[in-house]
Amino acid sequence: MHRLCFTLLAIIWMSTTPLLADGPQDNSIENVRPVPPLGIELTNVQIGELNLRLKELTKAIQKLQSLKSALGREVVVAKYLPDVLVLHRAVKQAVRHQEMFHERDIKTAHDLLDMAFERAAQLAEGKAPWTRQTGLVVRGFISELDGTVQPYGLEIAENYNFEHPSPVRCDIWFHGRGERSMELHFISQRARSYGQYRLNDGIVLHPYGRYSNAFKFAGEVDTLEALEHVKQNYNIDEDRISVRGFSMGGAGCWQFAVHYTDQWFAANPGAGFSETPRFLKSFQGETLNPPWYEEKLWRMYDCDHVAENLRHVPTIAYSGEIDKQKQAADVMEEALKEHNIELMHVIGPNTAHKTHPDSNVIIQHKMDHLAARGREKTPTVIDFTTYTLKYNRMNWVTIHGLQEHWERSHIEASIIGNHALKIDTSNVTEFSIDFPSGASPFDVQNSANIRIDGQATPVDHSKSDLSFHAHFHRDGDKWKSGRSSETPKYQKKNDLQGPIDDALMTPFLFVKPSEKSKDTKVEAWVNSEMNRAVKEWRRHMRGDVRIKADTEVTADDIASYNLILWGTPESNSMMEIVADKLPILWTDHEIKVGEKNYATENHVPVLIHPNPLNPQRYIVFNSSFTYREYDYLNNARQTPKLPDWAIINVDTPPNSRWPGKIIDANFFDEQWKIK
């Protein structure tokens, strides 16, 4: 296999010593430096050479896409073409958007193009040898989120058997913050350098995470999609997958550990942050005065509020003794003590923001032992806390309804012998129990004795395959088996619970207006915010939005995507269709929110709601992800800034923090009505 010779003078980022550019100097809303920064200016000759090669590669890709099945190569091309496309896109983005930061990046771009041409030639012959390669491998996948190709890196142990693969361990490694870590640089790093830990038997997955967002929002989706792609291409042991990371990657690790707890055999967060307010005060030196809804929305990603979930995943935290980011593990240690859990906290002596070599040895030894143990498949006790139905599952318990979002919701379920289940709930209105075949703890000849909040609730027997499923709902102050017979038209549920940012965590489509609004201020604001949203999705979330005019939206679009509608009912026909079906009424003259009215000449609603044309998908009015340029400067700031709806006064110009003056904002209730 041809090995690329990357330059020895490489920028080091994303692993043991990530670039740190945030700090107290970044606390001014009026003076926000660009993230990512603008790169060096290439000469016309350099740009011309790269664009010529990109054009040639485009032709090679088009030729591959036109291959007919008669050649016997179509399946191979369809499956592995993203491994070529990801290299093409990385170079194209770097050239088009001035995202090279040193002269050596030009050579890196040509090296990636060499790799792309080599892979394209191999695919043309119906071959993909890099997919059966050990060591360092860079792959790509098409994201369902926005249809763009996204990269990830692999470290595959030399003893991986491609002919007869046995299930192997997979450690997910979350990289640190790197403001210059564009796709070009990430792929280069992953193609030439191993990370902090190596496995003698297994695979290390390095997700890109959509750049620098601490693996939240699109970064969270990217990680889950990358893992799924790895599972489709390699034999991964479902019971031996872990999450690990350092610095920003440590923050990502904490978040995945508490939100997807039952998927990992262990978690190993290092440094980073584990919550928002205390970290920003200690590390950033920032004075916080958020509106009440923003503070409540910190609970989406703050890990200390749901620390007890770590009861279900062995956790080994690491901190340098003199690292300011030791604060993250200290906060979690304090939170876990409240639940009688003592955090295993490995501390590197007299060490700043890096991993001490002796600590590395200790951590690896512990992780290897935990990998041998594997994930606990059917725990006898489930102790699960959440604040949102976005994260609604823990092993054999799934929560389907809450009394109120963003308040603590808890369920503790204990298996007692082979006949009983004791369940205690708080702020939960509906949940289910699900044991797959072979997992039911109950005797097949007798009904289980289930008590919920002290009430006996009858259920069916386990099936003969030792599976068991039961659904429960609250009716007044009583629990009943089955689903409620009174189902409201709209109900908050998993992936349909808000806030606005959630619409950009499942496949979405921007819908632009084909007409103009009569209110010139509103028209100018909509155009500015829509253009900004398109730009910032590419710049910060490293994708390209799907976008259509309102007159081009099809039934398939309505069925497949969350619709992000821009404009007014006057300018956007899709808005006009749904405007009278929403809890916020938007007419020619006023925006009516309950008993409050706002003039349309200088006010705009932003909101999220199930789409009346397809209640299994969202519609959003006039908003992309809600944090802005000021929040790019520190990953802990990257939290939802607006709830389910807000009224914007466009007389106040947008800035790096807000889209205008927020006149009013709130959450919808659990039935998507005005509170």
Is a pLDDT exceeding 50 seen at residue 7? no
530 pLDDT tier (thresholds 50, 70, 90): very high
Mean pLDDT, the chain, whole residue set: 94
Is a pLDDT exceeding 60 seen at residue 10? no
Is a pLDDT exceeding 60 seen at residue 9? no
Span 655-674, average pLDDT: 98
Q: Which of 417, 423, 419 is nearest to 455 (CA)?
A: 423
Is a pLDDT exceeding 80 seen at residue 28? yes
pLDDT at 6: 39
Q: What is the pLDDT of residues 334-363, one digit of tens each?
A: 999 999 999 999 999 999 999 999 999 999
Cα 244 from Cα 360, distance rounded (Å): 12
pLDDT at 23: 76
Is a pLDDT exceeding 50 seen at residue 612? yes
Return the top range by mean pLDDT from 7-11, 419-423, 481-485, 632-636: 632-636
Is a pLDDT exceeding 80 seen at residue 205? yes
Span 133-147, average pLDDT: 98
Contact 250, 264 (CB under 8 A): no
pLDDT at 12: 34
**Residue 558 CB-density burial (10 A; 0-12 exposed, 13-18 middle, 19+ buried):** middle
- Structure letter (DSSP) for residue 36: S
pLDDT at 68: 62
Cα 250 from Cα 269, distance rounded (Å): 4
Span 104-132, average pLDDT: 97
pTM score: 0.95
As a whole number of Å, the end-to-end CA separation of the chain is: 62
Cα 529 from Cα 531, distance rounded (Å): 6
Q: Which of 509, 603, 610 is nearest to 556 (CA)?
A: 509
Cα 596 from Cα 387, distance rounded (Å): 29
pLDDT at 20: 45
Cα 29 from Cα 40, distance rounded (Å): 26
Secondary-structure breakdown of the chain: helix, strand, coil percentages, each rounded to the nearest 5: 35, 25, 45
Q: What is the pLDDT of residues 247-282, one digit of tens each?
A: 999 999 999 999 999 999 999 999 999 999 999 999
Contact 168, 203 (CB under 8 A): yes
Q: What is the CA radius of gyration of the chain?
A: 26
Cα 485 from Cα 473, distance rounded (Å): 10
- Structure letter (DSSP) for residue 341: -
Is a pLDDT exceeding 50 seen at residue 18? no
Is a pLDDT exceeding 60 seen at residue 170? yes
Contact 606, 501 (CB under 8 A): no
pLDDT at 579: 95
